[in-house]
Amino acid sequence: MAGAAPIAVLTRPAGRNTDVLHALVRRGWIVHECPALEIHTAAIASAHDIPDPKHYDLVVFVSRAAVTGFTTQLGPDFVWPSGVRVGCMGPSTALAIERAWPTASNILYPDAEKARDSEALWPLLQALTTPLTKVLIVRGQDGRDWLSDKLNGRGIEVLTHQAYERVQADWSADTVDRFRAWADASTQVVWLLTSGHGITSVGLQLQSLGLLDWFRSGQFVLTHERLVQTLAKVVGGDSAGLQVHLCQPEDPKIVLCFDQILGG
């Protein structure tokens, strides 16, 4: 990344890029914020469609967006019921849970060295001394069913609830013009991509602009190894040819990854 100032494109939803953006600018990066998705609280026909956590032994939130959406659905006066455990995939979501419901305790999530996924959460659930009988999983309009399948396989009743929805974000004319100019100049950028849905959205928009080959030539900061195959599928190539850098999804880890790219 020697020579001209390096360029980073941050694709997390609006409001999620601020700290990383400021950190990278201080380090000399040119940073363009370009959310791949918009996140909205899922519409609920009536209050009866919102599951009450008190009826479950465990509530699992797949992301911070799940916490935000469920908080909005339940309303500001909701108090987390004592005795109902909470699970999530990492410390950022755990912090969001604590802020939303200070009475929630014993939040289960993988330690810092583990991946932020259901597979890493599963051993913690297996180690619980109190058997689970009913589990609520709060997520978007779709997602992986790995955890629900594992729980069902143990005879545990599982309800999957949609608290938010992902919608492809509209890119401004300025963003499109900027991407075209970078592509015309064969300028390489480093993309921050943090979800399979986000990768698909970015790929589809760039394909419609005829910029997929330029996208493929860039570098990519991904927050889970599973995203490598998603990216390869989107660009229509072999993952071995992609310039991928893996890191955990917390902001300091992402910034460190960009530091290492700059240093390399």
In tens, the pLDDT along 212-230 reads 999 999 999 999 999 999 9
Q: Is 226 helix (H, G, I), strand (E, B) or coil?
A: helix
Residues sharing a CB contact under 8 Å with residue 126, sequence separation 6 or more, in sequence order? none
Structure tokens at 243: 């310039």
In tens, the pLDDT along 157-178 reads 999 999 999 999 999 999 999 9
Tokens 């959406």, residue?
69
Query: What angle do helix axes 226-235 and 196-208 make, rounded to 10 degrees?
Result: 10
Q: In 3D, which of 98, 151, 104 has the Cα closest to residue 124?
A: 151
Structure tokens at 107: 């939040």
Instruction: Report whether 110 contacts 130 (CB < 8 A).
Output: no
CA torsion sign for 96, 99, 103, 105 is positive
In tens, the pLDDT along 79-88 reads 999 989 999 9
Q: Report which of residues 105 and 236 the model is more confident about.
A: 236
Q: What is the pTM of this model?
A: 0.88
Local structure of residue 240 (DSSP, 8 states): G
Give the Cα separation of 187 and 73 in Å (integer).
44
Q: In 3D, which of 69, 62, 195, 72 has the Cα closest to residue 137?
A: 62
pLDDT at 264: 59
pLDDT at 47: 84
pLDDT at 190: 98
Instruction: Report whether 215 contacts 203 (CB < 8 A).
Output: yes
Q: What value does the mean pLDDT take over residues 87-104?
A: 93
